[in-house]
Structure 1
Amino acid sequence: MPPYGAEAWGMDIAIIGGGAAAVGVLDALASAAPARGSIRVFGPSPHLWRGRPYGPDLDSVLVNAPPAIMSIRHADPGHYGAWLGGRGDAYLDERLGQPLVPRAVYGEYLEQTAEKALAVLRERGRWTEVVAARVVGAARSGGRLVLRTEDGGEHVADRVVLCVGGGRPHDHYGLAGAPGFAGDPYPLAGTLENVAPETDVAVIGSGLTAVDVVVSLAARGHTGRISMVSRTGMLPHVWQRPGAHRPRHVTTERVRALLDDHGAVTLDGLAGLLRAELADAGEDFDALLADLRAAPREDPVGRLRRQIAAIDAPEIGRRVLQETSHTVGPYAWRLLADDDKDRLRALFRVATSVASPMVPVNAARLLELFDSGRLDVVRGVERIERVHGGFRIDARGPDTRRTSWIAGRVVNAVNPPPHAIGQDAAALVAALVAEGLVAPCPSGGVLAADARVRIVGDLAGDGPFVTSGIPGVAAQGAAAARAVLAAAP
């Protein structure tokens, strides 16, 4: 136990959460933290450092991005690729030309990175501890903060970094507790274990989580009907093979120049940067925009087929949008006026589909299932209810025709909204708000209201509406570590 209150001890840091965001913070601290003080990590998960997405699961549940953008060390984009080494050869997605490992393997990377960071900190004289308990309260105590855990423990800290992650899927149709309904699909190894191969399965949603469910069902030899059911029926875009182009106009520096030259950053100004980027490459901005606007209305299977055919296409438009949504997007978002933010939020489904596309190996598997008649997409779902023998699903398609059928199982694959406050973190966030340490953000999430608190991940209310990927989490984690260390005595 460190001697809290002893001036010679230095700064005591608390990291609340034990997933990828916490690993990013720890790794950044290990690279620069002075020897004095303590670091406590509060992580009640049985799969520490992996978070919800990267725990043990089926091999069919893949990391959805190539190694170049999956490094948890913000200052070293090659960190994950170096760790993966030759292991990646066994997981090569030939269409993408990159290794795409099972998420559980990526979880090993996070786990080993965190443990190495802790070892480095200890070698330097830092006192470290992992507390396997959830933090449910916080209060001021003089110039310090007291954190209360669910087991009644109290822990003092000078700085707190919130890394609690997002929420879990919402139960839009009130099916919680119904036999045959899976409210949270992960880990899929457990969710799909007792699904008979011939059972008709409805998957609520048509995004990346729904893709994971469908592909994993197929990998287990499922023969029954699988339906992806949602309001829009729009599938994610498909990753294109990485190219050599690096943005020259859609950059943080050019966005900053917009601010300096015009006193504001607007959505039209950002569109101008993308227009210039495409013009330099001889491409048509308006054609790209028209294609994106057509996404919600186009037949999803036809669009999927076109995008698979374009995996190797030379056009840079979607590649630039996908890359810069995570690199430039968070900076630009904070400079936009509220009306421009609302314009972007109205395009949420298309924006997230472009920013977080599906990997080619999964796209090809989906197309095979569609072509075989074993998979369909149903748009305009209005109601799902438990009935004798399963679940009745009612939908009204784009042509206004109604359809209805019975599914034996329903898997909820709807992702929580951006900046959602998860059930596990609700008590803590309420306590932080009550103490004036954070403040609710009108668009969701919370904002730090005290210099002693930093927020990493989608809980940060001033972040963009696109769910943070590993690049964003790593960048936020490094920034939080810098801010904490800058305040060290």
Structure 2
Amino acid sequence: MKKIAIIGAGFSGLLTAIQLVKQSQGSQIHISLIDQNPYPGRGLAYGTRDDNLLLNVPAGNMSAFPDDTQHFVEYCQEIDPAFHEGTFVSRRIYGDYLEDLLAKAKKEFGSSFEIICANVLAVKRIGNERFSVKTALGHSLVFDRVVLALGHFESRNPFPQKQLDTDSNVFLTKKDIPNLCQNAHQQSLVVIGSGLTAIDLIFQLSSAGVNKKILLISRRGLVPQSHRVNPKVPARQMSDILAEVPSTVRAFLRAIRFEISRRQNSGGNWRDVINELRPHIPEIWSRLPFDERRRFLTKVLPYWDTHRHRLAPIAYKRFISLIESGLVEVLAARLESVQPIASGWRLQIKKRGQEIVEEIDAIGMFNCTGPNSDIHQIRDPLIQQLVNDGMICADQLRIGISTTSNYQTLGKEGQEVKDLFYIGPMLKASYWEAIAVPELRVHAAKLAMEILDRL
């Protein structure tokens, strides 16, 4: 019997395990799903119990299975028949859905499927065929195959001063929210970043009753757009539009803008173009040479993100109402420095297009600048060990983990690391569009097939 370890029990790890169960068809395998989180499947995204926090994707595109697109909708309709493909349901419900999938997989696979609650510190090669997985509990477990289903890692320190180390309690976390409710100081709270993570935090602060002004600070001051009401399933194939486009960022943007203009002139919506483009993003990314990929990251990415990663309509209206009430303000500004003061922190900023340095006193700061994808700057012991031992390597742009087309990791010399696989958001090094359910569910199904084919 072959033993397979899946390290990480968020969406990617859980779906890989479920696909292994689904596709095994009598194969003699034992699956160990390993994660320090006692609630496997929920991860950071779906661990909330707050029903005010909604999915940013309609239910019709959230099935765990690429070959059964109605699976999640049908699950929701068992809760409330009013749910439909266009409903933006709560993240709690999606977490419940994943837990239900896990329970069914465990029941089907019995003792050959185990969940281990532990923090993995190292994965070491034993000879040429097996791996030793060392946990913080002091155990060393032996496996034939290892899947790294590692999700997002904490944000980088956004300040230029190297002495402001993120380990020195500079930034507040969600655990500090109850204390903020009791704090009498009237200074603002500063949230660095203005994307989906920042807006989630604002909703949590608002729901908890934190009655302080919140400043969102990002270089361009861009915020996510809203999904359209009753979003449509992508209907048109974009391949005919993109086939003859030269492999430059400028050419692709020109083609996309032209198609958006054409649609809008006939009563269409730009969101439909972005939705229909999505399945073609990996192909576009593969066509772009290194310099063009870098140009996209430095020049286009913030504008792409605000249109690609959108809010549920009701969440967008809630966010705008907080701005209109004066409780939230979005600043397009560059952070110049930060200094501790008696009541918190003093930030120096330059607003976009200005040279005057302004000061802001804040009772506290939250870092919502997005996950760190540079494995050379991630402090997680497992990542550091894998990098140091040459079992994983970063791509040229340092936005993810380099893999083969069958998800095996590449070592520091560019060689395949046999039977060590990666799945998760750092697949964006190869595919770019690889951080959300519609793409990761496909990767999970393909990865399971690869593993089983190698038995």
- TM-score band, normalised by shorter chain: 0.7 to 0.9
C-alpha distance after superposition, 1:291-334 (max 9, x if no partner) = xxxxxxxxxxxxxxxxxxxxxxx533233214533x22123312
Aligned-pair identity (%) = 23
Per the TM alignment, residue 84 of structure 1 is displaced from its structure 2 partner at its CA by: 1.6
In structure 2, the partner of 1:128 is: 113
Select the residue among 429, 433, 440 that pairs with 2:383: 429
TM-score of the pair, normalised by structure 1: 0.78
Asked if 1 retains the 8 angstrom alpha-carbon contact of 2:121 and 2:136, the reply is yes
Question: Deviation of residue 243 (structure 1)?
Answer: 4.6
Task: Provide, for residues 61-110 of structure 1, a one-character-per-residue CA deviation record: whole Å limited to 9, x for no partner.
Answer: 32222112222222222222111225457899xxxx94333323321111
Counterpart residue number, 1:358: 311
Determine the structure 2 residue equivalent to 1:12. Answer: 3
Residue 254 and residue 14 in structure 1: after superposition, are their counterparts in 2 closer, same or farther (change >3 A)? farther
Which of 140, 148, 151 pairs up with 1:165? 151
Name the CA distance, whole Å, in 2 between partners of 1:120 and 1:227.
50
1:45 aligns to what? 37
Aligned to 1:288: none
Residue pair 2:14, 2:40 contacting (<8 A) in 1 also: no
SS in 1 for 2:366: strand
Deviation at 1:141, TM superposition (A): 2.4
Indicate if the aligned counterparts of 1:439 and 1:446 stay in contact, CA closer than 8 A. Answer: yes
Write the deviation string for residues 344-363 of structure 1: whole angstroms up to 9, x where unpaired.
Answer: 21211111222211222222
* 3-state SS of 2:330 partner: strand
Write out aligned runs for 1:148-159 (5 A): 148-159=134-145
Structure with greater contact order relative to length (CA < 8 Å, sep ≥ 6): 1
Matches within 5 A, 1:324-403: 324-325=277-278, 327-346=279-298, 347-380=300-333, 381-400=335-354, 401-403=356-358
**Which runs of 5 or more residues in structure 2 are unaligned?**
403-408, 410-415
Find the residue that maps to 2:361 and give its secondary structure: strand
* Offset of residue 468 of structure 1: 0.6
Gaps of 5+ in 1: 1-8, 285-313
Contact persistence 1:175–1:386 (CA under 8 A): no
In structure 1, give the amino acid aligned to 2:70.
Answer: G
Query: Which residue type is aligned with residue 317 of structure 1?
Result: W
Closer/same/farther in 2, CA of residues 195 and 410 from structure 1, 3 Å limit:
same
Are 1:102 and 2:54 an aligned pair? Answer: no
1:447-472 per-position Cα deviation (integer Å, ceiling 9, x unaligned): 21224122111233633456611112
Give the Cα separation in 2 of the matches to 1:331 and 1:460: 14
The equivalences for 1:307-322 within 5 A come to 314-322=267-275
- 1:56-205 equivalences under 5 Å are 56-85=48-77, 87=79, 98-122=86-110, 127-137=112-122, 138-173=124-159, 174=164, 176=166, 181-182=171-172, 185=173, 188=174, 190-196=175-181, 199=186, 200-205=188-193
Give, in angstroms, the shift of residue 410 of structure 1.
1.9
Is contact 1:393–1:405 with CA below 8 Å preserved after alignment? yes
Distance of aligned partners of 1:249 and 1:72 in 2 relative to their CA distance in 1, 3 Å threshold: closer
Please tell me whether the aligned partners of residues 88 and 100 of structure 1 are also in contact (alpha carbons under 8 angstroms). no
Task: Give the aligned residue type for 1:121.
Answer: F
Q: Work out whether residues 64 and 72 of structure 2, in 8 Å CA contact, stay in contact via their aligned partners in 1.
A: yes
The count of aligned residue pairs is 430
Pick closer, same or farther for the CA change 1:323–1:216 going to 2, 3 Å: farther
How far apart are 1:136 and its partner, in Å?
2.1
Q: Is the 8 A contact 1:385 1:392 kept in 2?
A: yes
Q: Of 201, 204, 211, which aligns to 1:213? A: 201
Please give the TM-score of this superposition, normalised by the length of structure 2: 0.84
SS in 2 for 1:54: coil
Quote the offset at 1:47 in angstroms. Answer: 2.2
Shift of 1:207: 0.8
Q: 1:481 to 1:207 in 2, by over 3 A?
A: same
Equivalent residue, structure 1, for 2:405: none
Code of the residue aligned with 1:130 in structure 2: it is I
Distance 1:233 1:77, change over 3 A: same
CA offset at residue 15 of structure 1? 0.8
Equivalent AA in structure 1 for residue 146 of structure 2 = V
Q: Which of 9, 12, 27 matches 1:21?
A: 12
Change (3 A) 1:422 1:115: farther
Instruction: Give the 3-state SS of the residue equivalent to 1:334 in structure 2.
Output: helix
Secondary structure of 2:198's partner? Answer: helix
Q: Secondary structure of 1:192's match?
A: helix
